[in-house]
Structure formats: structure tokens, C-alpha cells
Amino acid sequence: MTATCPYEIVDVFADRPYTGNPLAVVLDAEDLSTEQMQAMAREFNLSETTFVLPPGSGADYRVRIFTPGAELPFAGHPSVGTAVTLARLGRIPAGEVIQDCGGGLLPITVTGDRATLTGGSPSLGAEVDPSPLLATAGLTSEDLLGPPPRVAGVGLDHVFLAVSDDAVASARLDLAAARTHDVAKVYVFSWDAERRHAHGRLFAPGLGIMEDPATGSAALALGVWLVAAGLLPDDGEAAYSIAQGAEMGRPSRLDCTVTASGGKAERTTVAGQVVPVARGEIVVP
């Protein structure tokens, strides 16, 4: 008899089906090898697939997260989507839960069809040369707008490139440039200071993702970048929002906060809605 695993497909950071970022959640995955998980992630061919495992000490559940090309220690939309799915299925309680993943133990609050994820420890890198990033996104130096690009992260690093809003809309991944300059990923965005709102796009060819409709880990890290750039208060909590995915026909909304002290980000959160769209069984490779 052929072995199978149950799975659910959900749209994350979405208010209706077929928007947001789709996620495959493979349940009862404790007997799968790393190679089998990677093969399944390639088969789903979504930006990420999660595999739910029994929890370790101090957690409510454990997940492993795969893109079509690699395993990630942590990612935002898979964390939000998996938590809401498990609560909806009655596998974990609603409210405050702890997810165990490669990035450590992370707190998530599940309320109905929505979850709020708290990122890991913020990190901030040095400024980087914008030229390879601009080339990868099909842009030029004339599109630059704002502070220089630099790396920031809260468990998963991203490199942030601030450009005009028109440039965000017109950006196109140049795979040849990405290979030439060895650029694995770049997050291009514009910033509306009055609304505290970003329009973002993520190109990640190094992870097998040509473009991501909604990126929770980047949304969390953007708060770290914004505080360092002086675009959000350097003390106390500030809310900001991100629109992503419209250029792909999958509009997404990510609601975020960053808490800073002494000019440095100390804590970031990202929240969004999760909509179920499909369920089934997948054959174990």
C-alpha cells in the first residue's frame, strides 16, 4: 500500500482565497527524511512548504520549512500559516503558542483566522554596494531613493534596497545579473513616511523563488532596517504595514510593529490572516 501524508494548502497574509502567499502544510511528517521533504517541496513548487513534527521541549509543535530548492531555519508566512492551520484543525490551542523551528523557539499568538509572529533577535549588517542589487532587480542608480542598502534580519537575513515607488512596480528579476553578481535575494521597497507603509517585492533566485508574494521574515527585518535608517522612532513601539504581491496578481497585506530602545530595534512582530483553499494527501517519495 502506498504511503501518503495529509496536507493543507492555505493562503497567508490574505483576506480571500487566491491572494496572499500560498503555503503547503504537510501534517504527520515525523517519518519523512530530509530528502523526502525536499522532494515534496519541489512537487508543490510553492515558495515554501512546512512539515509538522512532534514538539520538542518547551514547544507546542515543531516545523521544518523548505523552499523548492533548500531548507530554511525560519520564515514568516510559513510560521503564520502553519500556526493558524494547526489551531483550526484542533491540533494546537488558540492563543499563545510556541513554534519550534531551525531558528529556535518562537512565540505566536493565534486568534481565529489570524496570527501574530514575534521574530527572533534583531541583527543589522553593514551597508552594501547597491549596483549588483539594482542590476538583479532590473533597475538603475536613478531609481535609488533613501538610505543605502544593508542587511537586516530577525532569524533570516534580507538585504533591503530602497527605491522609488515607480521602480518597485517596474522591477523585474534579471537572472543573468543575479548569477553574474552572485545575488541570492534582494528586497526592493518604497517607503511612505506619512502612512508608515511600504510597497515591497522580494526576488530570491538563490532559493529557487523568482518572486515571493508575501515575505513575513522580510517584513519583520524591515522594522530593524527602518529604525536604523531613522525612518521609524528609535524609542518605543511603532506600527507599519506592507503591501506586496500585487504585481504577481496575489495582493498581500502584512501588519507589523517594531519596538526600539536607544536607537536599536529590540523586537518585531508581523501579523496576517490565513485562508484555507485545499486539502488532500501526497504520496511519500
pLDDT digits (tens, 9 = 90+) for 85-102: 999 999 999 999 999 999
pTM for the complete prediction? 0.91
Bridge pairing between strands 157-162 and 150-153: antiparallel
Query: How far apart are alpha carbons 131 and 163 in whole angstroms?
Result: 13
**What one-character DSSP code corresponds to residue 245?**
-
Catalytic machinery residues: 48
Query: How far apart are alpha carbons 96 and 110 in whole angstroms?
Result: 7
CB-CB contact of 132 with 155 (8 Å): no
CATH domain 123-272 topology? Diaminopimelate Epimerase; Chain A, domain 1 (3.10.310)
What percent of the chain is predicted at pLDDT more than 90? 94
CA 184 to each of CA 136, 174, 187, 209: distance values in angstroms, whole numbers, following the listed order: 9, 12, 11, 10
Count of Cβ atoms closer than 10 Å to residue 169 Cβ: 12
pLDDT digits (tens, 9 = 90+) for 214-273: 999 999 999 999 999 999 999 999 999 999 999 999 999 999 999 999 999 999 999 999
pLDDT recorded at residue 57: 85
Single out the residue of 195, 172, 190 nearest to residue 247, CA to CA: 172
Q: Provide the residue count of the chain.
A: 285
Query: How far apart are alpha carbons 29 and 102 in whole angstroms?
Result: 16
**What one-character DSSP code corresponds to residue 222?**
H
pLDDT band at 56 (very low <50, low <70, confident <90, very high): confident
* Angle subtended at Cα 112 by Cα 21 and Cα 50, rounded to the nearest 5 degrees: 40
Query: How far apart are alpha carbons 2 and 96 in whole angstroms?
Result: 37
Asked whether the predicted pLDDT for residue 203 surpasses 90, the reply is yes
Average pLDDT, the chain: 96
Count of Cβ atoms closer than 10 Å to residue 38 Cβ: 20
Asked whether the predicted pLDDT for residue 208 surpasses 90, the reply is no
pLDDT band at 27 (very low <50, low <70, confident <90, very high): very high
CB-CB contact of 152 with 225 (8 Å): yes
Query: How far apart are alpha carbons 200 and 74 in whole angstroms?
Result: 20
Query: How far apart are alpha carbons 225 and 263 in whole angstroms?
Result: 11
pLDDT digits (tens, 9 = 90+) for 72-81: 998 999 999 9
Query: How far apart are alpha carbons 12 and 147 in whole angstroms?
Result: 30
Asked whether the predicted pLDDT for residue 1 surpasses 80, the reply is no
Same fold, 4-113+274-283 and 123-272: yes
- Residue 138, classified by CB atoms within 10 Å of its CB into exposed (0-12), middle (13-18) or buried (19+), is middle
Query: How far apart are alpha carbons 231 and 234 in whole angstroms?
Result: 9
pLDDT recorded at residue 266: 97
CB-CB contact of 151 with 183 (8 Å): no
pLDDT digits (tens, 9 = 90+) for 173-183: 999 999 999 99
pLDDT recorded at residue 153: 95
CB-CB contact of 21 with 12 (8 Å): yes
Query: How far apart are alpha carbons 130 and 248 in whole angstroms?
Result: 24
Phi and psi dihedrals of 47, rounded to 5?
Answer: -60, -35
Domain boundary assignment for the chain: 4-113+274-283, 123-272
CATH 3.40.50.300 fits 4-113+274-283, yes or no: no
CB-CB contact of 245 with 251 (8 Å): yes
